[in-house]
Structure 1
Amino acid sequence: MRSFADHDYPANHKPDWSLIARLWPYLMEYRGRVILALGLLVLAKVATVATPVALKYIVDYLDQTRPEELLLWVPVALVVAYGMLRFGSTLFGELRDAVFARVAERAMRRVSLRVFEHLHERELAYHLDRKTGALARDIERGTNGISFLLRFTLFNIVPTLLEILMVAAILLVVFSASYVVAILVAVVVYVLFSVKVTEWRTRFVREANDRDNQSNTRAVDSLLNYETVKYFNNEGYEAERYDRDLEQWESARLKNRLSLAALNTGQALIIGLALIGLMAMAVREVAAGEITLGDLTMINAYLIQLFIPLNALGFVYREIRQALVNVERLFGLLADKPAIVDAPGAKPLTVAQGELAFDRVFFAYRPDRAILTDVNFRIPAGHKVAVVGPSGAGKSTLARLVFRFFDVDQGSIRIDNQDIREVTQDSLRAAIGVVPQDTVLFNDTLYQNLAYGRPDATEAEVYEAARMANLEGFIHSLPDGYETRVGERGLKLSGGEKQRVAIARVILKNPPLLILDEATSSLDSLSEHAILGALREVSRQRTTLVIAHRLSTIRDADTILVLSGGRIVESGDHLSLLALNGEYARMWHQQHQSD
């Protein structure tokens, strides 16, 4: 299985130019807008190329006409034409951008949504390994890279090539081929220099981005674990580690800026030499009477006009390369297929009774460390089965397997005799309610976190779920009540309060099967007593799997399974297991002595 780290490309990684072709479907969604934008692009370039011609006629008319023969309206008309051409060039360019804006923004939206959906489709193991800060940066850069590629490929590279061809054609027709050859030589030298230097300095750009990712990941990770940092007085340690990352980022940025200065200086030298050579040719021909002063002005205008877009070529080429790498990272996320997928032809789960069965289940997170070995048990419809055992015995793994966060290595898990690997994940998870051991809340209001169990629930249903979870009194004691914001990951609430929110969510979801993964582990005795009553009421008509640490909370279970070393070593109800005087009895007496 590939992890996110597989997309951390080396500094000499070559971008995949074929990625541009993968953007074609996003253009075709608005085919009419793209065609109109290209038409406006051509009009803008025609106006741009015609502007120096108007300037030539103004200069020639004023230079070659004697004062007594001057007709004022002629130069005025030429000046108006000159101004309108300049305005037309800008107008058509802006209209082109306005028409194309929807295409680029929609492409960013489509890809962002697809990546978001795909990340939610990925298996739990992927999310346990991911680097949230770096992942967020790569998604942001990738979507922006798509917009950049669409805009600059169509509206910078293509127009520049079009303008060069149009200017070359005019110079070839009006003047001699020597001007065309000189301009083409200058352009080729300029492009080759820009590409080679940009290739050399791209590693500095990528290194700066990698260091930026690293420092951002460090900052996000540290801030998410704010309380842990405080517990160990490690603010200075965290700042030192963050500053080391920033130092590397600073060094990479400095190399980037110095290499950019070298690129800009070389480009300016090539432009200067080209201007000197071409203007020297034009001045010599003016002096010989072969071309007019207006021709000289037109040639000068064309040279400046050509080298303005070319002057940005190094930047554009570098940014296109970087955008390709960013888009490649983004598409790389989409290319990695989820490890847990629906089987071909998978059907929705049909829950008639709600019987849950583990049939000779074997499972390991790693091949060299077995977690579950030959686990067999059945939970009849409407019954409650509790699983107890020491830490690391595999209790929570049972819940993860039922929810298909992972798939079993051998054996099967069945609901009403349907192998859960042969039904759709969506229908399976819709039928199961989970109260996890560690409840994480969204940085939103308390009401929204409660309603997350069923977003279309009415206010009355949300309030009733809160009451059943023994939250109502706590909520009414808050100044903002249900509109209280719970903070990042619910840090403003205590562990017990967060767990009661999780219980309320499940009550609101109202599923036929329940998994309680140490659902009362963060509650005090008084709250535990109140919530146990609500949990018993909720689970009375439901098939319930309880993962428990406190044995006092599962005395009413129909069956208690003792899991040790990945195997079920004892099975029975509370009294029969105490009478057996085995592992369960030992755990029971140990907990009561500690109490």
Structure 2
Amino acid sequence: MSTTEKPKKQEFEATERIEAPMGGPGRGPMGGGMVAQKAMTFGPSAKRLVGQMRPDRVQAIAVVVLGVVSVGLMSVGPRILGHGTDLIFSGLISRGIPAGVSQDQAVDNLRAQGNDRQADMLASMDHVVPGQGVDFTALGHVLMVVLAIYAGASLLAWLQGYILNGVVQNTIYRMRSDVEEKINRLPLGYFDRSPRGELLSRVTNDIDNVSQTLQQTMSQLLTSLMTVLAVLGMMFWISPLLALVALIAVPMSLVVTRTIMKRSQGQFVAQWRRTGKLNAQIEEAYSGHALVKVFGRQHEVEERFAAENEELYQVSFGAQFVSGLIMPSIMFIGNLNYVVIAVIGGLRVASGSLSLGDVQAFVQYSRQFTQPLTTVASMANLLQSGVASAERVFELLDADEETEDAAALTTPAVRRGEVAFEHVSFRYDEDRPLITDLSLVARPGQTVAIVGPTGAGKTTLVNLVMRFYDLDAGRITIDDVDITAMPRSTLRGQIGMVLQDTWLFGGTIRDNIAYGRPDATEEQVLEAARATFVDRFVHSLPDGYDTVIDEEGSNLSAGERQLVTIARAFLTNPALLILDEATSSVDTRTELLLQQAMAALRTDRTSFVIAHRLSTIRDADLILVMEDGAIVEQGTHEELLVAEGAYSRLYHAQFAAAATEVI
């Protein structure tokens, strides 16, 4: 595309997706708007976010397998440790039994003394050898096995986290790529309706938040779910009764978590919506800081920032506070459950129904069972925040795109540059027609000037030629080919466009000139610079054409920036040239020189020139006077002056009389 400038934003009434403050969406240091948010539910959004990992399903399966094995090993550990506890306890009991007395005889003696509970407990014990004490050899084997199990589980967990990290980063990489590609497919109208700071917040802050959420929660969530299942199985193996007691905590935890999350999810969506709105306000105030100072509006800007910041604080505090109630609530339920299990387990040991090692293992399992629930509860706020950000990214990805391009056409070797508007109608808002049934023909090589009051539709006319917007009715042709029948890249590759608002990127002056034609030679770049008088001021710079400028072009004057953008258009050698107030930022002498250069550039190519200073378009082959989206007059400069119509009034208002109040 040879376009050298970004198209001007059009002011129009907002649709139902816009909060439209005075001044139009996202315009001016005191304006600003925001694409409205329609929050989706947590479940579908989370499911779609997980679905983004589908291309890495092989690695994801490996993560699940490693997690199952790791959690399985960790779950077996307490059971084996319980066996070690039984060895110690049996050894201590055996010391109190005289050598030579069998376990059965000791049990009978206790019953004869009336100690039935102690007799039941001794009868249920294994490995009791009267007078032997603790079997440290067997205990050492148990501890070595447990050490090997825990070491293996930790190694597998590390490997699981390593693979999962790759899956998450690949997912975020694809999401960023999808967003970048999506932005290039969005119509210009989307950017007109979306404040720049709000859009940037979705592309940067929200995606970063999704990345952090996935990174911090995926591994823990997966491990927690597997731990719950594995531990539950071990608990039922040891004691079905105690397992049922432990399960009471699950529905209680789910009810509490669901109730709190339902209240906090909307607040997290509001938090990130407010973050985007605050970013938009900050970006707008920063971009227009000079204008803010000129009009002395610093106080109003500060007040507006304080109000937006306070609203963000309130929704953020509410979201974090409400979701923060989940973890202490789950911990309270878990502690109550732990007390009940300890009491019932102690009674079962005393009755001989369970061994002390089994109860110890079960207590560990009960902690392992409630810990994943507590972990999930502690991550609830992070999950909700991440899903809320994902919703905003998905809204961007789901936005309506430009209509599909036509099949690629072969650009003709000889381009005439004839442009025809045939009964064209267009409106930004359905309730406000702008251009209605407009027809005109720009002949090859003609310079067509478009004049008229602000809001008449002048810039809109050339934006339609560029296909920044699609028509409501009619068609536009270039060399008898409908512009909708050719790819946008093919169409825009034949057009050079220079707007009043300059746009430069961070780089050298040489790179900025060659932006529209990266394959240009050094001589071609210099030729374009000399033709547009860039060469005159470049040599006064320290590094000449290698001088690095920033995005704002702060080390160049407004006129010099404009000259660079015009040189960029010269270099593309377009078939059709569009100049929208292209010389408004240069001095009168430079303007005269540029008019001469542009006159040479316009030779044998069609040109559209939008101008408010009528002195710049006296030599145009055709002048179109627009009012309210319609052409009210057309002709040459002399013909229109003789007609004494709208053009004559504009001309004499500029050159022949003082400004008068328009009633």
* Cα distance in 1, alignment partners of residues 235 and 432 from structure 2: 76
Deviation at 1:446, TM superposition (A): 3.8
- 1:341 maps to 403
3-state DSSP class of the match of 1:549?
coil
Identity within the alignment, %: 31
- 2:467 maps to 404
- 2:378 maps to 315
1:18 to 24, 44, 62: 44
3-state DSSP class of the match of 1:312?
helix
* Cα distance in 2, alignment partners of residues 419 and 328 from structure 1: 39
Letter of the 2:404 partner, please give it. Answer: D
1:125 to 181, 185, 189: 189
2:143 to 79, 85, 88: 79
Specify whether residues 462 and 303 from structure 1 end up closer, same or farther in structure 2 by C-alpha distance, changes over 3 A only: farther
Say whether residues 1:37 and 2:63 are aligned partners: yes
- 2:228 maps to 164
Deviation at 1:96, TM superposition (A): 1.2
3-state DSSP class of the match of 1:127?
helix
Is 1:194–1:313's contact at 8 Å kept on the other side of the alignment? no
3-state DSSP class of the match of 1:362?
strand
Answer with 1 or 2: which has the greater Rg: 2
| Bigger shift: residues 191-200 or 367-376 | 367-376
- 1:199 maps to 262
* Cα distance in 1, alignment partners of residues 137 and 597 from structure 2: 93
Letter of the 1:441 partner, please give it. Answer: L
Is 1:348–1:423's contact at 8 Å kept on the other side of the alignment? no
* Cα distance in 1, alignment partners of residues 215 and 517 from structure 2: 42
Deviation at 1:506, TM superposition (A): 1.1
* Cα distance in 2, alignment partners of residues 493 and 292 from structure 1: 85
Say whether residues 1:189 and 2:252 are aligned partners: yes
Alignment of 1:298-313 (within 5 A): 298-313=361-376
1:327 to 390, 396, 400: 390
Is 2:87–2:135's contact at 8 Å kept on the other side of the alignment? no
* Cα distance in 1, alignment partners of residues 410 and 610 from structure 2: 27
* Cα distance in 1, alignment partners of residues 655 and 383 from structure 2: 68
2:176 to 107, 112, 118: 112
Specify whether residues 438 and 555 from structure 1 end up closer, same or farther in structure 2 by C-alpha distance, changes over 3 A only: same
| Bigger shift: residues 164-173 or 317-326 | 317-326
- 1:88 maps to 152
1:381 to 433, 436, 444: 444
Deviation at 1:179, TM superposition (A): 1.4
1:464 to 497, 509, 527: 527
* Cα distance in 2, alignment partners of residues 229 and 162 from structure 1: 57
Specify whether residues 344 and 523 from structure 1 end up closer, same or farther in structure 2 by C-alpha distance, changes over 3 A only: closer
- 2:87 maps to 61
- 1:435 maps to 498
Deviation at 1:567, TM superposition (A): 3.4
Structure 1 residue runs without a partner (length 5+)? none
Specify whether residues 225 and 358 from structure 1 end up closer, same or farther in structure 2 by C-alpha distance, changes over 3 A only: same
* Cα distance in 2, alignment partners of residues 291 and 115 from structure 1: 59
Cα-to-partner distance string for 1:376-434 (whole Å, 9 max, x where unaligned): 32222233222233333322221111111223333321101111123222211121110
Alignment of 1:493-512 (within 5 A): 493-512=556-575
- 2:202 maps to 138
* Cα distance in 1, alignment partners of residues 168 and 607 from structure 2: 50
| Bigger shift: residues 138-147 or 310-319 | 138-147
Alignment of 1:496-535 (within 5 A): 496-535=559-598
* Cα distance in 1, alignment partners of residues 18 and 151 from structure 2: 49
2:54 to 17, 23, 28: 28
Specify whether residues 240 and 481 from structure 1 end up closer, same or farther in structure 2 by C-alpha distance, changes over 3 A only: farther
* Cα distance in 1, alignment partners of residues 42 and 646 from structure 2: 60
* Cα distance in 1, alignment partners of residues 200 and 209 from structure 2: 14
Letter of the 2:235 partner, please give it. Answer: L
TM-score (norm 1): 0.89
- 1:250 maps to 313
Letter of the 1:429 partner, please give it. Answer: R
Specify whether residues 437 and 594 from structure 1 end up closer, same or farther in structure 2 by C-alpha distance, changes over 3 A only: farther
* Cα distance in 2, alignment partners of residues 4 and 58 from structure 1: 68
* Cα distance in 2, alignment partners of residues 304 and 447 from structure 1: 67
Alignment of 1:343-382 (within 5 A): 347=409, 350=412, 352-367=415-430, 369-382=432-445
Say whether residues 1:100 and 2:161 are aligned partners: no
3-state DSSP class of the match of 2:328?
helix
Specify whether residues 511 and 264 from structure 1 end up closer, same or farther in structure 2 by C-alpha distance, changes over 3 A only: same
Is 1:15–1:324's contact at 8 Å kept on the other side of the alignment? no
Deviation at 1:358, TM superposition (A): 1.7
| Bigger shift: residues 447-456 or 419-428 | 447-456
* Cα distance in 1, alignment partners of residues 278 and 197 from structure 2: 9
Deviation at 1:172, TM superposition (A): 2.0
Specify whether residues 284 and 433 from structure 1 end up closer, same or farther in structure 2 by C-alpha distance, changes over 3 A only: same
2:303 to 220, 232, 240: 240
Is 2:164–2:219's contact at 8 Å kept on the other side of the alignment? no
TM-score (norm 2): 0.81
- 2:605 maps to 542
2:272 to 189, 209, 227: 209
Letter of the 1:200 partner, please give it. Answer: R
Cα-to-partner distance string for 1:463-495 (whole Å, 9 max, x where unaligned): 433333222233332335445454454455433
3-state DSSP class of the match of 2:43?
coil
Cα-to-partner distance string for 1:435-474 (whole Å, 9 max, x where unaligned): 0122233355544433322234444443433333222233
Specify whether residues 373 and 250 from structure 1 end up closer, same or farther in structure 2 by C-alpha distance, changes over 3 A only: closer
Deviation at 1:222, TM superposition (A): 1.0
| Bigger shift: residues 268-277 or 391-400 | 391-400
Letter of the 1:53 partner, please give it. Answer: R
Quick one: higher RCO (CA 8 Å, sep 6+), 1 or 2?
2
- 2:485 maps to 422
* Cα distance in 2, alignment partners of residues 356 and 349 from structure 1: 16
Q: CA RMSD in A?
A: 3.0
| Bigger shift: residues 408-417 or 351-360 | 351-360
* Cα distance in 2, alignment partners of residues 28 and 367 from structure 1: 41
- 2:293 maps to 230
* Cα distance in 2, alignment partners of residues 149 and 284 from structure 1: 44
Structure 2 residue runs without a partner (length 5+)? 1-14, 20-33, 96-131, 659-663
Letter of the 2:197 partner, please give it. Answer: G
Letter of the 2:54 partner, please give it. Answer: M
Is 2:224–2:375's contact at 8 Å kept on the other side of the alignment? no
Is 1:349–1:423's contact at 8 Å kept on the other side of the alignment? no
* Cα distance in 2, alignment partners of residues 141 and 551 from structure 1: 47
Deviation at 1:332, TM superposition (A): 2.0
Number of aligned residue pairs = 591
Letter of the 2:356 partner, please give it. Answer: L
Cα-to-partner distance string for 1:256-303 (whole Å, 9 max, x where unaligned): 444345333322211110110111122222333433332232122212
Letter of the 1:301 partner, please give it. Answer: Q
Deviation at 1:571, TM superposition (A): 3.2
